Structure 1
Amino acid sequence: MTNDKYYITEVDKDNTSIYCHHDLMGELLIPLHTHCKAQFLYVEGGIAYVKTQKNTYFLPARHYMWIPPAVEHSIHPNSEDVMMRNLYFPVEKNDLDFYDEEAIYPVNDLLLNLLLFTNRWKGNLKPDKRNYVIAKALKVLLPEVSGTNLSLSLPIAKDSRLIKITDYITNHLSDNITFSGLANQFGLSTRTLHRIFVKDMGMSFIQFFTISRMLKAVELLQNKEMQVSDVALAVGYNSLPTFSNTFYRILRQRPSEYANGRNILE
């Protein structure tokens, strides 16, 4: 699939409009691209990975990602059945700093209800139309209702040693990996491993390991094929309360709440 065949070529044709596009993904890749408008991206029915130059973001159902203008990114859904809602907003002179940061936030009932209004919209929403006013209201509300930017991203390793190590961690999330054991396995001192983690990733090993586990847990909960206790074990937690508290710290909701959350696009 190439960009000239995809709707993203239409986003910036009218620089005064809010552009709206809702659809099943139908593809497993939206290739690397950029646009002059900011993007509000909401998904259901699966998970989307959004890759920028700095990070790989993990966008689960009932969350949205704000992508500022001119940020180069690609989108990788985990299924062709992922439903995607996009609103693209032109930049305005009085925009708050909130709109300058790429970030992921949970969607509350107010935003869900506003999204329902957009159900039948497609293409350019003109400033003199009612649907434009509703979409603009959604944007204006975001800084007020979005709460804390969730840590649902992982930096991309560049150091060749760290690429192998992070790949190993990702493939062994249920294992009891220790920092000293990991350093020994890959022939590094703990001091060296800590240094390259912080320098290359901007976070410690335990931060990377914990977030990786929670992102895998979100994926398993989204599939609705496992009990919360089984998901905890699958990502290396023998204690359900510890797993629940860690999940809450990162996603601001309990795993049971996430597993039972309602979709609006079904």
Structure 2
Amino acid sequence: MGSSEALEEKYYIKEVDTEKKSIYCHHDLMGELMIPTHKHEKAQMLYSEGGIVHVTTETKTYFLPARHFIWIPGGVKHSIHPNSEDVMMRNLYFPVDSDEDSFYEKEGIYPINDLLLQMMLFTNRWNGNLKKGTRNFTIANAIKAILPEICLTNLPLSLPLPKDIRLNKIIIYLDKNLGETIMFSDLANRFGFSERSLYRLFQKDLGMSFIQYFTIRRILKAIELLLEKKLSVNEVAQAVGYNSVPTFSNTFFKILGQRPSDYLKGIEILKK
């Protein structure tokens, strides 16, 4: 079977849009390390467990940590790149209605709170089309309806994927050393660049400087660690290379609009 034929067999190409008014449900282990670029008429809510997923649209690459979901409006081309075949992906595909809340028109990544998590887990045994008028459709539609009310912070969890093979090796090195103090001059020397040429490569390929990239990458890792709830904020700061907790907190705030401690309180809010 050729690759194009194989792609046609995939549920997200073949089945999602077959019934225009249904909500399509698909939960499964990833089982592959890339879902190629595609689009569907329905909007997609993708929640992941057990690993990190990169979702690449035509404009940027989103970083989807476990216990978060991404909302992808209908008609948006995207590919999906998990870091492991063992990532569990829970997908709900919703018909696009007229006069919808503006929330549904924008791509975005949001932390999943306990209410949403329980509702998503409730759909665990469903697969395929949920037809309008059925109990399961009503429950799934309630998940969609509640999103604008509780998902108030669209997290800027996005980074470009490197296109240049040389830069890809550097990114892999940075990922493995997020807790280390890395000087730009040492990084350039390690990979055989002058500082000037490496600076230009970051700007040309990623559209941002090394400092911008490394800072966002560290904060993304910090979010993962905070959600695991195994380390204190102080320990998380050290794990991603910050010796000063106030500096870490200030940097976290610049990217997410809230302090690490407030972010954790937001996750816990429905437990109170």
Q: Does 1:29 align with 2:36?
A: no
Q: Structure 2: which 5+ residue stretches go unaligned?
A: none
Change (3 A) 1:119 1:27: closer
Percent identity over the alignment? 57
Q: Is residue 20–residue 125 contact of structure 1 (8 Å, CA) maintained in 2?
A: yes
Q: Does 1:4 align with 2:11?
A: no
Write out aligned runs for 1:171-186 (5 A). Answer: 172-178=177-183, 186=193
Cα distance in 1 for partners of 2:24, 2:52 equals 23
Match of 1:84 in 2: 89
3-state secondary structure, aligned to 2:92: strand
Cα distance in 2 for partners of 1:88, 1:233 equals 40
Cα distance in 2 for partners of 1:171, 1:113 equals 33
Cα distance in 1 for partners of 2:155, 2:162 equals 20
Q: CA deviation at 1:152?
A: 1.1
Write out aligned runs for 1:230-249 (5 A). Answer: 231-244=236-249, 246-247=251-252
Q: CA deviation at 1:216?
A: 3.0
**Which digits, 9 at most, give the CA deviation of each residue in 1:46-89, with x for residues without a partner?**
22222223322221122110112222222222333322211001
Give the structure-2-normalised TM-score: 0.75
Change (3 A) 1:47 1:36: same
Cα distance in 2 for partners of 1:148, 1:257 equals 11
Q: CA deviation at 1:107?
A: 1.4
Q: CA deviation at 1:170?
A: 4.4
CA RMSD of aligned residues (A): 3.5
3-state secondary structure, aligned to 2:133: coil
Selected match of 2:63 from 58, 63, 76: 58
Q: Aligned letter for 2:11?
A: Y
Q: Aligned letter for 1:110?
A: L
Write out aligned runs for 1:117-136 (5 A). Answer: 117-136=122-141
Give the structure-1-normalised TM-score: 0.76
Query: Size of the alignment, in residue pairs?
Result: 257
Selected match of 1:18 from 20, 23, 32: 23
Q: CA deviation at 1:197?
A: 5.7
Write out aligned runs for 1:192-203 (5 A). Answer: 193=199, 201-203=206-208
Selected match of 2:260 from 245, 254, 260: 254
Q: Structure 1: which 5+ residue stretches go unaligned?
A: none
Q: CA deviation at 1:141?
A: 2.0
Q: Is residue 103–residue 150 contact of structure 1 (8 Å, CA) maintained in 2?
A: yes
Change (3 A) 1:174 1:117: closer
Q: Is residue 127–residue 133 contact of structure 1 (8 Å, CA) maintained in 2?
A: yes
3-state secondary structure, aligned to 1:40: strand
Match of 1:74 in 2: 79
Q: CA deviation at 1:163?
A: 6.3
Q: Is residue 47–residue 90 contact of structure 2 (8 Å, CA) maintained in 1?
A: yes
Q: Does 1:109 align with 2:80?
A: no
Q: Does 1:187 align with 2:194?
A: yes
Q: CA deviation at 1:200?
A: 5.8
